[in-house]
Amino acid sequence: MSDTISFLPHYDFSPALNTGYLRKILQLMVQHQTPATPINYAIWYEVVTEKNPQLSTAVDVLIRDKSPFDAATSLALYKKYICNTSVASFEKINDQIQTLIGKTSNAIQETHTKADSAQLSFQKNTVLLEHVSNADELSVTLQQIIQETHSLTEATQSMQIKLDNAHQELEKMRQELTHVRQVATTDALTGLLNRHAFDQALAALFEQPHKGSTCLCLLDIDHFKRVNDLYGHVVGDKVIQFVAALMKKHANDQHYVARYGGEEMTIIMPDTTRAEAFTISNTIKNALENSVLKRKDNGEPLGKITVSIGISVLQANDNAETFLIRADQALYNAKETGRNKVVCTDY
């Protein structure tokens, strides 16, 4: 498999924030003797932003075991935890397509060669037919024409079979590619869009000339660290999955529901007014608050699990960053003023 990286994740943070991240990243690279390559920078970027807990855990294990950050290790981390293993799948499908193109090209060339040979033979025999003087010569010439016709028919049939097989292989690869694209944009734990897909959806929103009424909802599970500390990460993952299911259930069809990172999730709400966004967010909050979550192994109740939600309403002078920052500020206000509430500071 090629070591070529097929695509890079998209990051959209303010310059001031990135400057702070840069200092931390360089310190960690020096501390752990990590070569300053783009892949290693991306890995430490994900660790420093604390938006990729699975990668952070894997890096912690490497540090604990004093394993070197060599090229193979870095590439494996990048493919598994940043690109969701889609790089290998895309490269596999690309190799299959190249092989299929080669087979099809060879089949067409082989048929073309036989067709040229048959055409020359037909031309030669046509000349002979014009000068045939007896029945025996006519019979021999006709037999040659029949043989060439059979040969050309067989070559055409063979190419048709190969083309049919190629069509079936292409259809199979199309299905595989559709699946890979889905994996590349889907968060493995929740089934929501992942952070990369969220960034793409948000960027696409601002490329539209007429955006209409649009809101952004940012959700955070309250005291989630306490859930992990008391019941473990497996239960914590189940809580995240439950909240994600509620979000998918109550969001509208045109909405983009994504896992932003860790216990934070988000909904991009096109064609949605502030009042509608508030109602949907409040419904999600109330549904979770009224749910009785229990451990599957022993039925022990987890206690009340709640969320805080911040909403921003798209303004005429917004860009992706300002739109997101205001939702984050609204979320911060919700958590600072008691949690388990929905706050929208945009009127």
Active-site residue 336, yes or no?
A: no
- Measure the CA–CA gap between 335 and 220, rounded to whole angstroms: 9
Q: Which of 245, 249, 149, 264 is nearest to 198 (CA)?
A: 264
Q: CB under 8 Å to 129, separation ≥6 — which residues?
A: 138, 141
**DSSP collapsed to 3 states, 198-214:** HHHHHHHHHHCCCCCCC
- Measure the CA–CA gap between 223 and 202, rounded to whole angstroms: 28
- Beta pairing, strands 256-261 & 264-269: antiparallel
First to last CA, the chain: 53
Question: How far is residue 313 from each of residues 11, 155, 336, measured CA to CA in Å?
Answer: 22, 65, 20
Residue with tokens 């089949």: 107
- Measure the CA–CA gap between 46 and 40, rounded to whole angstroms: 10
Could you say which of 263, 264, 300, 336 is catalytic?
263
Helices (H), the chain: 15-31, 38-49, 53-64, 71-77, 86-130, 135-185, 195-207, 224-231, 233-250, 274-289, 320-336
- Beta pairing, strands 264-269 & 307-313: unpaired
How many CB atoms neighbour CB 213 within 10 A? 15
- Measure the CA–CA gap between 238 and 192, rounded to whole angstroms: 14
Which sequence positions are flagged as catalytic?
Answer: 263
